[in-house]
Amino acid sequence: MKYITRTVWVLSLVSLLTDTASDMLYPIMPIYLKTIGFSVVLIGILEGLAEATAGLSKGYFGKLSDNTGKRVPFVQLGYAFSAVSKPMMALFVYPLWIFFARTIDRFGKGIRTGARDAILSDEATPETKGKVFGFHRSMDTFGAVLGPLLALLYLWFRPEDYKTLFLIAFIPGLLAVASSLCLKERKKPTEKSKVRTGFFSFLGYWKVSPAGYKKLVIGLLVFTLFNSSDVFLLLKIKEAGLNDTSVIGVYIFYNLIYALFAFPIGIIADKIGLKTIFVSGLLVFSAVYFGMALNTNLYIFFALFFLYGIYAAATEGVAKAWISNISDKNDTATAIGTFSGLQSICTMLASSITGVIWYRLGATAAFLLTAGVAILVALYFIINIRRNSIN
């Protein structure tokens, strides 16, 4: 475990605490918004605006981090924004205030993502990237298990007391900010700190990025464009007969599997290649969506969510490790931030595409299309990207 340095431990703990705070609210957010007068359309606009804010800011702040040569201040400020947003949601119920608070949360994610992942990359070697990113994703995702469990426990004793839950979520958020103060800057500011960084300047990275980066990101974005929100999977099992508590239970189960397997799969990825693991993850994803399209047995749905956790463990951390291996060390935050920003936009479009197909042709057609695209993307990686060029 020598490759899991003190900095990796601190970042992973901060992510765990932040995700615990965020996922305490994730299952009840739509319910809470409806109780204060938000329509389904307004909720959709809110989430779309929030994700757009996170997406664009990831690229900008990733570029800014590289230009200044600083990482830690972006990480600390980003987590502070997300922590502060939690109690803000409970203070007032005016739509504009809710929009502002939710945007602050996503803005914080945009500020920290590129710099945080660049720190993780700097703490690893090309041979240990899978382990380091896998360990971080594992700790991060344990927060997505703890958060909903704490929320369910609280609401069991205090049903519909949503406002207090937002205030309670501030506690792990505050602990995350305090933990981030233990981070120390590894890189010293360089001469690049005088470079002026425009908000969309990160898009210029595409022109100067390595050919391997372009090939990899194109494949990742095509996949993202058809990989809709997990809400559609939860909606599918809800329609199959599960009650609300069981649906949340399945969501927790999926995150638990993801958290348990992210680190060991990262270890395997370093041994047999990031590409091999990622492509395998895509094939598992395809099997899950084929199963979702054709299955009606409730027990098989649990098996499919087990596999879905394996897919997430084999792709999310591995993708960032892969990107960091192909990009120049001085551009890591820009490379990951640019990808994350474009990915956020594609994620928004993906849910819209799936929603339209579901409405027009039904859930089966939507899931079959997604499964088919995943197989095509896997073939694209196998054919177009050589293993020895970017692992």
Which residues, other chains included, contact 9 with Cβ-Cβ below 8 Å and sequence gap of 6+?
Answer: none
DSSP calls for 333-355:
HHHHHHHHHHHHHHHHHHHHHHH
Supply 49's token pair: 């605006």
Contact 199, 60 (CB under 8 A): yes
d(CA 288, CA 305): 8
User: pLDDT tens digits, the chain, 391 residues: what are they?
Assistant: 677 899 999 999 999 999 999 888 876 776 677 777 776 566 666 766 777 777 778 888 888 888 888 889 999 999 999 999 888 888 877 777 888 888 888 889 889 988 898 899 888 888 888 899 899 999 999 998 999 889 888 888 888 788 888 889 999 999 999 999 999 887 555 554 455 665 666 667 778 788 888 889 999 999 998 887 777 887 788 777 777 677 778 888 999 999 999 999 999 998 988 899 999 999 999 999 999 888 878 788 889 999 999 999 999 888 888 888 888 777 788 888 888 888 888 877 887 788 888 888 888 898 999 999 999 999 999 988 765 445 5
Which residue shows structure tokens 């990733």? 62
- Domain ranges in the chain? 6-182+207-390
For the chain, state the CA radius of gyration: 20
pTM for the whole structure: 0.83
Which residues, other chains included, contact 159 with Cβ-Cβ below 8 Å and sequence gap of 6+?
Answer: none
Which residue shows structure tokens 């559609």? 232
Supply 146's token pair: 């703890």
Superfamily assignment of 6-182+207-390 in CATH? MFS general substrate transporter like domains (1.20.1250.20)
